Amino acid sequence: MRESRRVDPFAPRRNALDRALGAVSQRELLVGQRTAERFETVGPDARVTIAVGPWFREDVASGVNSGMRLQVLATGPAFNSSGTGVPYKVLQAGRVIGASIYSNSNVTAGSMIVGVYVNGSLVSGISDCQLNATNSRSAVYVLPWSAGVPFAAGETVEPRLMADAGFLPNGQADVTVTLYLAFEAV
């Protein structure tokens, strides 16, 4: 015995009308989802980058290797500085891939670079992120991932100001630094 199929005689007209009104068929939706998933999937080279800071230090002297303060909210509308040499604890392994530095005073002689401390020990100075007579007020430098300063989950990172003995204006520059951290996407 042959099975009878039920056919809706109005289906072709209804489908044409739905399409004319902008409806999308289930099949088109499924194909669109698969295509989107293929291109939105995070690959092995995907990284998440964040800016941490700004740390600050006022009245920087020449020949200094100094920790910096990190602003924290105080009660009321003001900000309090949270001491000297304030580290930032990271929860996931990654790398410091850059820094920015800004001074409120023009640097007229000598130079200052941003040092990167991991767990309280100097790992590297980002020599291209430097204030000097050419870059007298600000500098930004971002390293490639492979050249970044690595850190493990649970370690602390912080910037340090490293000024040479000829740094001017001695004791008058107020400096802020932001570190750029990158993490592997999970």
For residue 119, the domain's CATH number is: 2.60.120
**Does residue 79 sit in helix, strand or coil?**
strand
Residues 6+ apart with CB under 8 A from 71: 54, 56, 79, 80, 81, 82
The verdict on 96 and 153 lying in the same domain is yes
The verdict on 60 and 108 lying in the same domain is yes
Partners of 52 in the beta sheet? 179
Q: What is the pTM of this model?
A: 0.69
Highest mean pLDDT among 2-6, 56-60, 85-89: 56-60
What proportion of the chain, given as a percentage, has pLDDT over 90? 26
The verdict on 103 and 23 lying in the same domain is no
The verdict on 105 and 66 lying in the same domain is yes
Q: Is the pLDDT of residue 71 over 50?
A: yes
Q: Give the DSSP letter of residue 126.
A: E
Q: In which element (H, E) is residue 28 found?
A: helix 26-40
The verdict on 86 and 162 lying in the same domain is yes
Number of Cβ within 10 Å of residue 84's Cβ equals 10
Q: Is the pLDDT of residue 36 over 60?
A: no
Q: Minimum mean pLDDT among 26-40, 45-59, 166-180: which range?
A: 26-40
Q: How many whole angstroms separate alpha carbon 99 and alpha carbon 110?
A: 19
The verdict on 150 and 177 lying in the same domain is yes
Q: Give the DSSP letter of residue 7.
A: -
Q: Is residue 5 part of a domain?
A: no
The verdict on 52 and 108 lying in the same domain is yes
Domain residue limits at 18: 11-40
The verdict on 135 and 110 lying in the same domain is yes
Average pLDDT estimate for 44-69: 81
The verdict on 36 and 67 lying in the same domain is no
Q: Is residue 1 part of a domain?
A: no
What are the pLDDT digits (tens) for 126-168?
Answer: 888 899 999 899 999 998 888 889 999 999 898 989 999 999 8
Average pLDDT estimate for 97-102: 92
pLDDT bucket at 69, cuts 50 / 70 / 90: confident
112 neighbors 168 (Cβ within 8 angstroms): no
Number of domains observed in the structure of the chain: 2
What are the backbone angles phi and psi of residue 42, rounded to the nearest 5°?
Answer: -80, 125
Q: Is the pLDDT of residue 93 over 70?
A: yes
